[in-house]
């Protein structure tokens, strides 16, 4: 990561734990203020949704954790960059 990176999470309970907050503060990692429960503003949530739908559409779903990992890696590699660009382009509409 570059020196100008800002950490962003979705305010889920595990991300707000004292241990996590303490670590981020000790490491002086800047955090982005983010409204709780706002997945529609988090672009990666839309990418996870695309991947989930691609996997759900398979005739044989992954059976083991290893198979799931391999399937996700495979689908990620096949995911067109344009699909990610489109989620970014739709952000002004969501805001």
The residues spanned by each domain of the chain are 1-35, 42-94
> Which helix (H) or strand (E) element contains residue 19?
helix 18-26
2: left (phi over 0), alpha (psi -120 to 50) or beta: beta
The model's pLDDT over 34-82, given as tens digits with 9 standing for 90+, comes to 776 665 677 788 888 889 898 887 777 778 888 888 988 999 999 999 9
pTM higher than the cut 0.85: no
Q: What confidence score (pLDDT) does residue 73 get? A: 92
| Interhelix angle 43-56/65-78, nearest 10 degrees | 110
């Amino acid at each position: 990561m570059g020196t100008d990176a800002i950490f962003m999470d979705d305010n889920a309970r595990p991300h707000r734990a004292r241990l996590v907050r303490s670590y981020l503060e000790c490491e002086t990692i800047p955090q982005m203020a983010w409204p709780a429960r706002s997945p529609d503003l988090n672009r990666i949530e839309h990418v996870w949704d695309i991947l989930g739908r691609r996997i759900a559409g398979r005739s044989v779903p992954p059976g083991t954790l290893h198979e799931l990992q391999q399937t996700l890696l495979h689908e990620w590699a096949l995911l067109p960059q344009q699909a990610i660009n489109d989620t970014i382009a739709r952000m002004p509409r969501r805001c």
